[in-house]
Each structure stands twice: as C-alpha cells, then as structure tokens.
C-alpha cells in the first residue's frame, strides 16, 4: 500500500552539483564543495527527508549552452554528503541505469547504503540525451527496454548476495557481491512523467518521481498509477508518490527572484497542501536564493514556519 495520507515529507536537489540553465542560480557558478556541504547539513538539521543529486556523464558541445557541463558524479557526491550528514536520505534524481552494468550499479549503491547507515534511495530514469548514449555505446532507441531490464537486474543484485539474471542485454549466474545493503529492500524510485515512466513506476518501482507535470495532470497520473499498481498486483506494497514544487521563497524576497511562489508561510504552505491533497507523500522543493547562506536560511525558515502548516 502507499504510505498513507499522513505528514508530507520534503526533499531538495543540492545546488552546484548540476548547473543546467533551466535552474542554476548565479551564485552557484563560483561555488564548490563547501557550499554543497553547508546546504546538505542545513537540510539534515531542518529534518528534510532527502537531498538529491543528478546524473549525466558527458554533455555534447551543441547542448552545453543550455545544459552546462557541470554535472558531478552522482554516487561520489552522495557519498561525500553522507560523511558530513547524519539522517537525511541520499537520492539520485535520477541515475540513468542504461549507462551502466547492473552489477556495477548494485555494487555502488549497496556500498553507499552501508557507508551512510542505510540512507540510500536509488532514483532511476531512462535518460534523454541521444549524443550521450552514442558516446557511451548504448542504443538510445532501446533505453526504455534497457531501463526495465536494469531495474529488475539491479533489484535482484541488491536483494540476493549471489544474484542471477538472464535478459536480452545482461546475463549472469550466481554472481556474489558484498557489502550487502543495510536496507531490505533498498528503495528504487522511478523518475519521469511520460506514460511509459508512470507504467514503469507502477510495475517495478517503490516510488514515483515526476519530472515535470504529466500531460494529463498530476491528479489523473496518480489515479492511473494506482490503477496500474492494482493490475500488477502491487497495490499493497509500500509506495512513495513524489512531486516537484518549483522555486519557493519564504517571505517577500525584496529582489527580483524570478518565477517563484513567495509570500508569508501560510501562502507557501497553502500552495504545497495541493500536493498533499492529491495524495503525494513527498515534494522536492527549491528556493530562490542569491547565496548558499541565503539558501540555508530559506531551508531553516521553511522547516520552522511552512512545513508545520502543510502538515497541520
């Protein structure tokens, strides 16, 4: 069953580690590990459920103006963050599984789970940069099928010390791996808002991470997700439904913060309650900010003034 209609949890994509022009703030261009640590620790202290890191291996030159080339390695960054936090979970949003052998993925995530004391959450997706697939020697047109198979294969390796998998892309028999993850099972959340992504989340995932609003809207997508889980015989299994808030700012920014939901705590909370009422269990929030310090202040203000109103 899905986590019930209780308190909604909040997560944050860490700044600096990815710098797409769609969301990067000017201050991030000159920031580095110290700022990442400060923000991760602010989320940890504020009771956020998770911090998230993206995944790209290499960006083609023709896409660099829009996407940038600053994309830190997902597992290395999360392991670094794990060492300087205590309780916040560590999410890939999202790891492109078709890029890597399932046993390589399982080894990295089991190790991260052990090093973090059982805080890893493997968010997965099919990927979208065709040139990146070509550079890595992975067929772009097969990415959906590869992801389906990879989820099954990675789950098998995370669940059984001597994993066996036989599929079109990967095949192995009784291959042993340690360390074993602390979590049993280690959660796998499926990212994407397409019909195929919603189906994949329902049939194979432990959660759903929308990547922008689905064409049919969140309410319809969630209804279809539940229907697909019922059809797959998975309606009683634990499941986490996520959402993305877009940029927020607690209070009046007093500067041109661009497109964001801002205002007093009740106003921001009222906006976020719409996700709770839709049946979401966690929301990835973001904050308009001019520095790492301001972002940390926003995280603290949100936790103290907004989150209690959302869940009140």
The answer to whether 250 and 303 are in contact (CB under 8 A) is no
The reported pTM is: 0.97
Separation of alpha carbons 128 and 287, rounded Å: 26
Q: Is 183 left (phi over 0), alpha (psi -120 to 50) or beta?
A: beta
Which pLDDT score, from 0 to 100, does residue 2 have? 43
Concatenate the DSSP letters of all residues of 28-93 into one string: GGG--HHHHHHHHHHHHHHT-SEEEE---S---GGGHHHH-S-B--HHHHHHHHHTT-SS-EEEES
Domain boundaries, the chain: 9-310
Instruction: Assign 3-state DSSP to the chain and report helix, strand, coil percentages, each to 5.
Output: 45, 20, 35
Assigned CATH topology for domain 9-310: TIM Barrel (3.20.20)
Give the C-alpha separation, 96 to 107, whole Å.
15
Low-confidence ranges of the chain (pLDDT < 70): 1-6
pLDDT at 156: 97
């Amino acid at each position: 069953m899905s986590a019930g209609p209780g308190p909604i949890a909040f997560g944050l994509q860490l700044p600096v580690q990815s710098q797409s022009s769609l969301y990067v703030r000017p201050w991030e261009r000159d920031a580095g590990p110290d700022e990442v640590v400060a923000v991760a620790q602010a989320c940890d202290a504020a009771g956020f459920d998770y911090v998230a890191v993206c995944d790209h291996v290499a960006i083609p030159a023709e896409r660099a103006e829009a996407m940038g080339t600053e994309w830190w390695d997902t597992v290395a960054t999360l392991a670094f963050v794990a060492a300087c936090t205590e309780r916040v979970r560590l999410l890939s949003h999202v790891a492109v599984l078709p890029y890597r052998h399932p046993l390589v993925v399982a080894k990295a995530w089991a190790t991260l789970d052990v090093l973090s004391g059982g805080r890893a959450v493997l968010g997965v997706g099919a990927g979208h940069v065709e040139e990146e697939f070509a550079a890595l020697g992975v067929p772009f047109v097969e990415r959906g099928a590869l992801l389906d198979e990879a989820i099954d294969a990675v789950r098998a390796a995370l669940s059984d010390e001597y994993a066996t998998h036989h599929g079109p892309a990967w095949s192995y028999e009784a291959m042993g791996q340690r360390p074993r993850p602390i979590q049993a099972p280690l959660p796998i959340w499926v990212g994407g808002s397409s019909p195929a992504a919603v189906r994949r989340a329902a049939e194979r995932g432990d959660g759903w991470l929308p990547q922008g609003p689905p064409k049919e809207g969140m309410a319809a997508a969630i209804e279809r997700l539940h229907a697909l889980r019922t059809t797959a015989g998975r309606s009683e299994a634990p499941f986490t439904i996520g959402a993305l808030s877009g940029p927020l700012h607690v209070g009046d920014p007093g500067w041109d913060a661009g497109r964001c939901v801002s205002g007093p705590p009740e106003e921001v909370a009222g906006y976020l309650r719409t996700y709770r009422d839709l049946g979401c269990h966690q929301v990835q929030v973001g904050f308009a900010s001019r520095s790492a310090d301001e972002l940390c202040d926003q995280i603290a203000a949100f936790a103290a003034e907004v989150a209690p109103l959302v869940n009140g």
